[in-house]
Amino acid sequence: MDVQKILSAVACVFVFAACSQKSAETVFPENGALDSSACRGQALENKFIVQWEDGSFTTETAANAEEFKENFIKPQLENIKHVDYDRVIQLQRSSEVSATAFTDSWGQQRIGAPTVWSQGVYGQGVKVAVVDAYVDVSHPQLLPRIAVNTDEIPNNGIDDDKNGIVDDYYGAAFVSQPGNNQTPSSHGSHVAGIIAADSRYGSIEGVAPQAQIIPAQFIANDGGGSLGDAVLAMQYSASRGAKIINASWGGAPCVASLRNAFVELEKKGILVVVAAGNDGRDVDVYPEFPASFNMANQITVAAASVSDFMTSWSNSGFSLVHVAAPGERILSTVPGGSTAYMEGTSMAAPFVSGAAALVWSAKPTATAVQVKEAILKSVDVSSGHEFKVNTRGRINVEKALQYIQQLVP
């Protein structure tokens, strides 16, 4: 170490407070790595994600970053932990397959769900948040499974429970950029049906048919959304008592706030199930977020085919993708009281969310890490059918139930 470096280090020791002092620049490092030229194109230059010192998040607007620093950050600097530009985020592209059927539960059967149901385990008592696109809460197979906010009076235009959201009786929407498409996306309803469709009222068998769904929309009908809206939707889901959050979407490599949000969910003991993505690439080499975070409370999911092989279009990774689950030709609920086939890792993730709800309902005292362990340690690995994921296998909820019963007294 040369003399100049030594003197600089000594100076910093003696004036530690000054060297480490919080400033608008340290909480909002917009010129740092997260704001490279690659990230700039995704930034919303007049919208900002604010994480407060208590761990909560808000989104704020200003004409530009300089105005935001002067008029918002500096006056409240003591209470602000981190600030990012809000950024564009995109729904995982899922193909809608042009095929019709009244009932098709190959995925539920493949993972052993009927055997778990026969033991009286249906996901009862577990809330699963669908942080996604629109969920049709009027669908006959979804309506009985919606986690109703009984502290709210529906459609009276008043925030009855004082949580900052008006009329969130059936869930809430955090769509700041609605776009021009008026046709509801099928994605959120399809995901919700895979998790918990009530088979008493139609042909779809949800993996956890007595779990409760919390709809938390942040994606517009055109498939676009913002990172800040996603963070708010996850925060809302946690406040409503979600044990599991299903995230069938991907973002950009500019994700400090999103990772911080995942850390807050981890502190709350919430399991987050994430779609690996549909680009046919190795996320260990080409990271996709949030799929590549690899948090202790996260399961990242690849897609298995009807023939129980890795699909050609599923993202993979021996390190960062944990398990495979059915993701090809999946029949589930869509808006308007109907059903449709779709495929993608967006469909594989809710199979894992539903499986986690079954496991958790059998052992309510289990932690998110224990539920994750039970699912990862109980996969089916068949010779010649190994998946390019960390466990090499596809989920088996029957075996996961046996595992959790041994793991948790």
Q: 316: burial class by Cβ within 10 Å (0-12, 13-18, 19+)?
A: buried
| DSSP SS3 for 249 | strand
Q: Rounded to a whole number, what is the largest CA-CA distance in the chain?
A: 78
132 catalytically annotated: yes
Catalytic position from the list 187, 189, 190, 361 = 187
DSSP string covering 346-383:
HHHHHHHHHHHHHHHHH-TT--HHHHHHHHHTT-B--T
Which token pair is 196?
A: 């918990």
Which residues face 298 on adjacent strands?
A: 272
Pairwise CA distance, residues 41 & 375, whole Å:
38
Pairwise CA distance, residues 347 & 325, whole Å:
9
114 upstream amide cis, omega within 30 of 0: no
Nearest to 129 by CA among 168, 89, 176, 183: 168
Catalytic position from the list 105, 257, 292, 346 = 346
322 catalytically annotated: no
Handedness of CA 362, 322, 297, 85 (dihedral sign): negative
At what angle are helices 397-407 and 345-362 packed, to 10 degrees?
Answer: 40
Pairwise CA distance, residues 103 & 121, whole Å:
22
Helix boundaries (H) for 256-344 = 256-267
Catalytic position from the list 84, 86, 132, 198 = 132
For residue 273, give Cα distances in angstroms to 177, 343, 368. Answer: 25, 17, 11
35 catalytically annotated: no
Pairwise CA distance, residues 156 & 161, whole Å:
12
Contacts of 98 (CB under 8 A, 6+ apart): 341
Q: Quick count: other Cβ atoms within 10 Å of Cβ 52?
A: 13
Pairwise CA distance, residues 223 & 219, whole Å:
6
Q: Which residues are catalytic?
A: 132, 187, 346
